[in-house]
Amino acid sequence: MSSIELKNIVKKYGDGFPAVNDVSLDIADGEFMILVGPSGCGKSTLLRMVVGLEDITSGDLLINGKRVNDLAPRDRNLSMVFQNYALYPHLTVAENIAFPLRLAKGQHSEQEIQAKVKQAADMLELNEHLERKPANLSGGQRQRVAMGRAIVRDADAFLFDEPLSNLDAKLRGQMRTEIARMQRRLGVTTIYVTHDQTEAMTLGDRVAVLKRGVLQQCASPRELYDQPVNLFVAGFIGSPPMNFLPARVEGNSLKLPFATVPLEGALAEKVKGKDLVIVGLRPEHIKDGSLGGEAGDVRFTANVDQTEWLGNEQYAYIPFEADPAVQDKLEELDRDLDGEGMRTQMIVNLDSRSRVLEGDDAELYFSPSQMHVFDPETGECLT
Ligand code: ATP
């Protein structure tokens, strides 16, 4: 059993703003936990505190129920894979993989070391390269050696700090599937830091989203996507990102830039007492009206400024007027998300059958049940 618990963990460098601010997380035995968020949100700091490379300012870190705040890194029995691999250039692949076993002097027989290196090399398809030096390997192979070195020990958990960020896109995809397979096969508790949301969504049993050191939401990838708790999580997860539209409550309806939505049932409850909300609509939930729709869908016409055709899908860009009452909030959100400054245009992800062209007054629709409604003051989702 290897559980990791973080209780109210705080990290301050000097007397500045906390890099990690009161984060609590329970990572279960065998769980694959992702830490994700924009640059500087504190994800590496959090991981480095778990492994013991960084002191914890306050809070408790428990491994298997035991407080380990003051335990040296080597006594925590965790295996870390770094972004830059940190291989020994003068050692061969086999020697690099065997290194942690030899470091634990006298604990493993030579025969045992050879067997473990072979097992790791088999799993990572490194058998043909065992006698090479790191300089003679490709980036992907080096990454595999770094993983081999991590899995060769019977560590309680694997910790990965952006392990794929130095690889090109194709190799990243391949290594991602390998890491997923390896983790499932070994069933070892894993914490994995990334800023890549594809890695976050495909690898994680659960994903913890951080913003400026504060944990925003920790949930399964599907729950994060379907039920983001606030504007930040909603804007961070999903590509192209969720559209945020200012919406005014007027009598029994909600006025969006293009459409009017009747206020009834659960939606009426959500906006009760508000004059203004921000409506989130994912690009794929807005559809081409000439291709379908059901009773209860909201239909509207909008002028398409630009389209992008990607073969299996196409994007349509539709500008709308900013609403001064929510613009500050949306600009702040853009900054938090390392923004793209797209808060006055709506992106629609049309399916490949759609024939909408640039300049068209396109007929579109969405289902009100797909709308996310956010409080414009706090950014929280009004569920
Ligand atoms: P990135 O994706 O860019 O690596 P991150 O989410 O991993 O970012 P951290 O590296 O944990 O973020 O940094 C969190 C905050 O702490 C940042 O504001 C950073 O500038 C600050 N920080 C990190 N390390 C130190 C340090 N050794 N001394 C002072 N401040 C630091």
How far apart, in whole angstroms, are the C-alpha atoms of residue 351 and residue 354?
A: 6
Task: Say what the pLDDT of residue 270 is.
Answer: 86
Instruction: Tell me, in angstroms, the distance from the centre of ligand 1 to residue 159's CA.
Output: 17
Residue 160 lies inside a defined structural domain of this protein: yes
Nearest residue to 63 (alpha-carbon basis) of 156, 192, 184: 156
**Which residue matches tokens 């991590």?**
150
For 141, other C-beta atoms within 10 Å of its C-beta total: 19
**Domain's final residue, options 191, 207, 232:** 232
Pocket flag, ligand 1, residue 45 (CB < 6 Å): yes
Which domain range does residue 272 map to?
239-374
Question: What pTM did the predictor assign?
Answer: 0.92
C-alpha distance from residue 52 to each of 45, 75, 130 (Å): 10, 9, 31
Closest ligand 1 atom to Cα of 11 = 16
Same domain, 227 and 249: no
Task: Say what the pLDDT of residue 1 is.
Answer: 65
Strand-pairing partners, residue 208, are 35, 218
- DSSP β-ladder status, 306-309 and 253-255: unpaired
How far apart, in whole angstroms, are the C-alpha atoms of residue 215 and residue 211?
A: 7
**Domain's final residue, options 189, 207, 232:** 232
Same domain, 9 and 133: yes
Residue 380 lies inside a defined structural domain of this protein: no
Same domain, 222 and 246: no
Instruction: Report which protein residue has its CA nearest ligand 1's atom 3.
Output: 39
For 114, other C-beta atoms within 10 Å of its C-beta total: 14
Task: Say what the pLDDT of residue 295 is.
Answer: 87
Residue 322 lies inside a defined structural domain of this protein: yes
Measured in whole angstroms, the distance separating CA 137 from the mean position of its chain's CA atoms is 29
Same domain, 179 and 270: no
**Domain's final residue, options 183, 206, 232:** 232
Same domain, 159 and 304: no
Substitution candidate for ligand 1 out of 17, 34, 35, 44 with most atoms within 8 A of CB: 44
How far apart, in whole angstroms, are the C-alpha atoms of residue 278 and residue 374?
A: 5
**Which residue matches tokens 């990102």?**
241
Pocket flag, ligand 1, residue 21 (CB < 6 Å): no
Nearest residue to 264 (alpha-carbon basis) of 241, 223, 296, 295: 296
8-state DSSP, 240: S
Same domain, 102 and 160: yes
Residue 381 lies inside a defined structural domain of this protein: no
Same domain, 339 and 247: yes
How far apart, in whole angstroms, are the C-alpha atoms of residue 11 and residue 24?
A: 13
Same domain, 219 and 278: no
Nearest residue to 124 (alpha-carbon basis) of 85, 173, 84, 174: 174
Q: Which CATH number does the domain housing residue 15 bear?
A: 3.40.50.300
Task: Say what the pLDDT of residue 303 is.
Answer: 95
Pocket flag, ligand 1, residue 43 (CB < 6 Å): yes
How far apart, in whole angstroms, are the C-alpha atoms of residue 101 and residue 365?
A: 61
pLDDT averages per 10-residue partition of the chain, 383 residues: 93 92 97 94 96 96 96 91 84 93 84 91 89 90 89 90 85 87 90 92 95 97 97 93 94 92 89 93 95 90 94 92 86 82 86 89 94 94 87
Task: Say what the pLDDT of residue 340 is.
Answer: 62
Pocket flag, ligand 1, residue 248 (CB < 6 Å): no
Residue 379 lies inside a defined structural domain of this protein: no
Say if residues 29 and 205 touch (Cβ distance below 8 Å): no
Same domain, 174 and 126: yes
Same domain, 28 and 136: yes
Residue 166 lies inside a defined structural domain of this protein: yes
Residue 382 lies inside a defined structural domain of this protein: no
Instruction: Tell me, in angstroms, the distance from the centre of ligand 1 to residue 19's CA.
Output: 7
Task: Tell me which amino acid residue 216 is.
Answer: Q
Instruction: Report which protein residue has its CA nearest ligand 1's atom 10.
Output: 44
Same domain, 307 and 202: no
How far apart, in whole angstroms, are the C-alpha atoms of residue 134 and residue 131?
A: 10
Residue 17 lies inside a defined structural domain of this protein: yes
The helix, strand and coil proportions of the chain, stated in percent and rounded to the nearest 5, come to 30, 30, 40
The domain total for the chain is 2
- What ipTM was predicted for this assembly? 0.97
Same domain, 171 and 263: no
